[in-house]
Amino acid sequence: MKEEAALLPVEDARARTLALTSPLPSEWVRLEEALGRALAVDVRAQRTLPPWDNSAMDGFAVRSADLSAPPPVRLQVRETLYAGQTPREEVRPGTCARIMTGAPLPAGADAVVMRERTRLEPDGSAVDILEPVGPGNFVRPRGEDAREGEVLLARGTPLGIPELGLLVSQGMVSVPVPRRPRVAILSTGDELCRADAPLEGRIVDANAPALSLAVLRAGGVPSVLGIARDTLEDVSAHLAAAEGYDLVLTSAGMSVGEHDFVREALKRQGVEQDFWRVAIKPGKPLAVGRKGSTVYFGLPGNPTSSLVSFELFVRPALRRMLGHMDVEPPKVGGRLAGELKKAPGLAHYVRVTASWEDGELWARPLSTQTSGALRSAASATHLLHFPLSFSRLATGDKVELLPLSWRA
């Protein structure tokens, strides 16, 4: 088991974590089950869409060459076309067709004049065109959306509502995506109990339920393994039950106290530790390793530290397993409303509430930043990155903010 003498910077720790992960094997799922997941392969268009030139407006399909004379120009109306109808007449010189949005453009026509720029005879037989138009005016060309055989969506594309609508338009009802990661979650500590158990001097384990929900929101399938007591034997026995999962999360027991047995238990299970301890607050006693294809995270025991570590390290790993290309935590720019001080050497991730004022996002640090206070995590909208080498940030300073995925 490798020891890390120095604290790893956050960016290095995340890069080493991501190097341990890769997209999981793919499965075919129905489109409604693919929302939020990423494509496992390039998807090519099976249909050209739209299949013909069609009108982008209610109006009249015309030959633009007929409108070279000063307006108004009178044209004879040969037919009326609705969406879903096939044109019967060709538009010849001096004629036009009344057309509705989405209807195929008839042969001979190369432009559409919107209804508001015309004056129709009461009997509908002729129309005065009140403005000249060029070729392609209000025409949606054939293949504008997709052409048969071209790459429609690339591997790794996140499947949102527009993407799934595009696949439906191609006649697809299922799609290949990496399967969801199976995640085992284990809490450790003699002081912990389940929410439905008598307290009797103990505290309720909030970590496992919170991490389970975070995994679910990130696209994984969580399984809670229970609470291991503070003995090497019990922690080892619980970890043995995690065999076969894609990712294992433990919380607490990662420091160097007399009852901190998780690192030793992981070693017993054959987990090769990649690193331990990160230059970060909260969340310094983070350990990451791998056994076979399973990645193990030893998370801190304090609830907020656990959730912050999840945001910065676990969620990117899950996104990589789910086939996403962009896995880094999202970042937005803002300004600090307040003052922050710290000693250099650790990057702080400060819980803040951020709101827009005069076109800028202003971040206000919460009064409580202790790692054990879940209430501050509940109030936060973003994490403010207070860089490792900085010792002071003042009001108005530009700052980097990370939107929190746990927000509703």
Q: Could you tell me if residue 254 is inside a domain?
A: yes
Mark 245-281 as b/e (b = at least 16 C-beta within 10 Å): bbbbbbbbbbeeeebbbbbebbeebebebbbbbbbbb
Beta bridge partners of 47: none
321, 250, 243: which is closest to 287 by C-alpha?
250
Residue 255 pLDDT: 66
Residues 341, 230 share a domain: no
Total domains in the fold of the chain = 4
Q: Could you tell me if residue 408 is inside a domain?
A: no
Residue 258 pLDDT: 58
Q: What residues contact residue 319 under an 8 Å CB cut-off, 6+ apart?
A: 218, 219, 326, 327
Residues 337, 394 share a domain: yes
The answer to whether 24 touches 219, Cβ cutoff 8 Å, is: no
Could you list the mean pLDDT of each consecutive 10-residue stretch along the chain, which spans 408 residues?
68 97 96 94 94 96 96 96 95 98 97 97 96 96 94 95 94 96 94 80 88 95 93 92 95 69 90 94 93 95 92 97 94 96 94 94 91 78 95 97 87
Residues shown for the chain:
408
Residues 357, 278 share a domain: no
Task: Say whether 218 sits in a helix, a strand or coil.
Answer: helix
| Residue carrying structure tokens 């009852």 | 259
Residues 169, 63 share a domain: no
The long-range contacts involving 166-170, CB below 8 angstroms and separated by at least 24 positions, are 167/31, 167/43, 168/31, 169/47, 169/49, 169/145, 170/43, 170/45, 170/46, 170/47, 170/49, 170/146
pTM: 0.84
**Amino acid occupying residue 116:** E
Q: Could you tell me if residue 1 is inside a domain?
A: no
* CATH number, domain containing residue 247: 3.40.980.10
Residue 256 pLDDT: 59
Residues 243, 169 share a domain: no
* CATH number, domain containing residue 378: 2.40.340.10
Residues 184, 80 share a domain: no
Residues 43, 173 share a domain: yes
What's the DSSP call for residue 246? S
17, 26, 31, 44: which is closest to 322 by C-alpha?
26
CA distance 374 to 210: 10
Residues 170, 37 share a domain: yes
End-of-domain residue from the set 321, 342, 359: 321
Residues 241, 161 share a domain: no
Positive or negative: CA dihedral 246, 190, 8, 362: positive
Residue 353 pLDDT: 95
Residues 259, 166 share a domain: no
291, 297, 295: which is closest to 312 by C-alpha?
297
**Amino acid occupying residue 163:** E
Q: Residue 63 to residues 45, 66, 114, 132, 384: CA-CA distances in angstroms?
A: 32, 6, 14, 10, 60
Chain centroid to Cα 274, Å, comes to: 27
Q: Could you tell me if residue 5 is inside a domain?
A: no
Q: Could you tell me if residue 78 is inside a domain?
A: yes
Residue 3 pLDDT: 44
Q: Could you tell me if residue 71 is inside a domain?
A: yes
CA distance 213 to 78: 63
Q: Residue 151 to residues 42, 167, 212, 323, 399: CA-CA distances in angstroms?
A: 7, 12, 36, 18, 39
Q: Could you tell me if residue 186 is inside a domain?
A: yes
Residues 276, 227 share a domain: yes
The answer to whether 348 touches 281, Cβ cutoff 8 Å, is: yes
End-of-domain residue from the set 140, 156, 189: 140
Residues 206, 298 share a domain: yes
E strands within 159-271?
Answer: 174-178, 182-188, 192-193, 203-204, 221-228, 247-251
Residue 1 pLDDT: 38
Chain centroid to Cα 299, Å, comes to: 23
Which residues form the domain of 40?
Answer: 28-49+145-178
